[in-house]
């Protein structure tokens, strides 16, 4: 999917596929002049392979109950995912990946494990609203003695869903009772429209979990490739953490200035998040209302981040890629087909990224409406 997307994203007129946020400048990311001065005076030397002590202390403070020794600094969240899955899975293991999900997670699990099961997020009515939800009974049925890992993304990419606390607690309890590791990609945690979504590990700091995050999304700094993982204090995670650190030793260390940037960003004013999430909520509501007004399309309103996953009622024999390519060729609007995130191609799902200004989004949704009417006619 990434190669497919990259073939078009730099030449299209309207790009609703790109999840790289409009990046901040360094002096916008770090408002405290003293922190900026520290960053500019950072020595360009090797650092500890697991990250500097000062930075790991700052990150650990985001996960009360977690020791700095249980934090590993990485070159972006993607490297954290890679290191964890590379260690956890081999060909005799099984993994469960919530779907739809960030494609890298499923690809890494599929490349490493003997068998990968999808645990489906499904559209569900919650009161008078539609939400994306999982079925815990279905999860119970997927778990086997060979299950080594369950991977989730909360808030979710590509749906913008947030999982209820009861569901999060149940997942942590299952990880503890069945002996597998829960991998939680929580990079969008600060982008909940009703406030930050607390890391799952706060519900049980001693559960066997690994939480991933980075500066790429909420801190508007994707180019820093600044990420980390925090590992639960469960005793059986000691060997897991030690093995992951040993793997990380092979790339010597994470970027030194990047580590200083994380420390400064997490220690600085975060008022930009309130402005950003307010704007995202407005765009999310515009997106869902505009797309739900189109005959043949339905869209669950997201609760976090900047994604929505609408569904078009495809004609027989058509796939989500047929719809997305047709939309691109007809209108210059680029979205991403849902099967790239693990959904069935015949399901008609496609992801939109609503980071553009509302006026431009309105124009784009009018183009989508016109094309969809023609496509379904």
pLDDT band at 219; cut points 50, 70, 90: low
Edge-to-edge strand list for the sheet holding 307-308: 307-308, 350-353, 336-337
**Which of 105 and 118 is assigned the larger pLDDT?**
118
Q: Is the pLDDT of residue 118 over 60?
A: yes
When the candidates are 3.10.310.70, 3.50.50.60, 3.90.1150.10, 3.40.50.300, the CATH number that belongs to 2-19+271-376 is 3.90.1150.10
pLDDT band at 253; cut points 50, 70, 90: low
Same CATH topology for 2-19+271-376 and 26-267: the answer is no
The mean pLDDT value for 59-75 works out to 89
The mean pLDDT value for 331-348 works out to 94
* pTM for the full predicted model: 0.88
Q: What share of the chain is helix, strand, coil (3-state, %, to 5)?
A: 45, 20, 35
Rg (CA), the chain: 21
Do residues 122 and 182 lie in contact, with contact meaning Cβ atoms separated by under 8 Å?
no
CB atoms within 10 A of CB 267: 16
Do residues 233 and 66 lie in contact, with contact meaning Cβ atoms separated by under 8 Å?
yes
Cα–Cα distance measured from residue 331 to residue 12, given in angstroms and rounded to the nearest whole number: 9
Cα–Cα distance measured from residue 13 to residue 176, given in angstroms and rounded to the nearest whole number: 49
Interhelix angle 256-267/53-60, nearest 10 degrees: 40
Tokens describing residue 363: 């124009």
pLDDT band at 125; cut points 50, 70, 90: confident
Q: Is the pLDDT of residue 303 over 90?
A: yes
pLDDT band at 344; cut points 50, 70, 90: very high
Show Cβ contacts of residue 28 under 8 Å, excluding neighbours closer than 6 positions: 220, 272
The gap between the terminal CA atoms of the chain, to the nearest Å, is: 28
Q: Is the pLDDT of residue 167 over 90?
A: yes
Burial of 99 (0-12, 13-18, 19+ CB in 10 A): buried
Note the pLDDT of residue 177: 95
Give per-residue burial for 233-260: e unless 16+ CB within 10 Å, then b: bbeebeebbeebbeebeeeebbbeebbb
pLDDT band at 77; cut points 50, 70, 90: confident
Q: What letter does residue 270 receive in the DSSP assignment?
A: -
When the candidates are 3.30.420.40, 3.40.640.10, 3.30.750.24, 2.40.160.10, the CATH number that belongs to 26-267 is 3.40.640.10
Q: Is the pLDDT of residue 23 over 60?
A: no
Domains of the chain, residue spans: 2-19+271-376, 26-267
Edge-to-edge strand list for the sheet holding 71-75: 71-75, 226-231, 209-214, 181-185, 147-153, 94-99, 115-120
Note the pLDDT of residue 46: 65
Show Cβ contacts of residue 227 under 8 Å, excluding neighbours closer than 6 positions: 73, 74, 75, 76, 77, 78, 79, 80, 187, 212, 213, 214, 215, 216
Ordered alpha helix ranges (H), the chain: 2-6, 26-29, 33-40, 53-60, 76-88, 103-112, 136-142, 165-178, 237-249, 256-267, 271-292, 320-331, 358-376
Note the pLDDT of residue 28: 59
Cis-peptide, bond into residue 42, ω within 30° of zero: no
Cα–Cα distance measured from residue 332 to residue 194, given in angstroms and rounded to the nearest whole number: 34
> 104 in helix, strand or coil?
helix
């Amino acid at each position: 999917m990434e190669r497919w997307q990259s073939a078009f994203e730099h030449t299209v007129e309207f790009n609703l596929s790109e999840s790289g946020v409009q990046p901040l400048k360094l002096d916008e990311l770090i408002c405290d002049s003293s922190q900026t001065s520290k960053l500019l005076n950072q020595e360009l030397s090797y650092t500890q392979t697991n990250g500097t002590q000062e930075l790991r202390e700052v990150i650990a403070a985001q996960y009360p109950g977690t020791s700095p020794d249980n934090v590993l600094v990485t070159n972006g969240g993607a490297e954290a995912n890679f290191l964890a899955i590379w260690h956890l899975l081999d060909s005799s293991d099984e993994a469960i990946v919530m779907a739809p999900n960030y494609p890298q997670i499923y690809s890494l699990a599929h490349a490493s494990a003997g068998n990968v099961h999808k645990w489906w997020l499904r559209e569900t009515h919650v009161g008078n609203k539609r939400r994306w939800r999982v079925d815990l009974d279905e999860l119970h049925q997927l778990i086997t003695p060979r299950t080594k890992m369950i991977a989730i993304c909360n808030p979710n990419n590509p749906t913008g869903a947030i999982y209820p606390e009861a569901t999060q607690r149940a997942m942590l309890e299952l990880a503890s009772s069945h002996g597998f590791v829960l991998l939680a990609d929580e990079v969008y945690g600060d982008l909940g429209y009703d406030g930050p979504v607390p890391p799952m590990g706060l519900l049980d700091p001693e559960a066997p979990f690994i939480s991933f995050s980075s500066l790429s999304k909420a801190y508007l700094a994707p180019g820093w490739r600044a990420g980390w993982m925090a590992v639960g204090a469960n005793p059986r995670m000691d060997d897991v953490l030690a093995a992951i650190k040993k793997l990380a030793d092979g790339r010597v260390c994470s970027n030194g200035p990047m580590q200083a940037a994380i420390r400064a960003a997490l220690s600085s004013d975060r008022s930009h998040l309130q402005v950003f999430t307010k704007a995202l909520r407005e765009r999310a509501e515009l997106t869902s209302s505009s797309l739900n007004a189109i005959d043949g399309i339905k869209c669950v309103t997201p609760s976090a981040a900047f994604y929505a996953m609408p569904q078009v009622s495809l004609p027989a024999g058509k796939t989500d890629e047929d719809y997305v390519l047709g939309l691109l060729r007809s209108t210059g609007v680029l979205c991403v087909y849902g099967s790239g995130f693990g959904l069935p191609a015949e399901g008609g799902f496609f992801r939109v990224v609503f980071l553009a200004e509302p006026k431009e989004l309105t124009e784009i949704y009018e183009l989508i409406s016109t094309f969809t009417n023609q496509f379904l006619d």
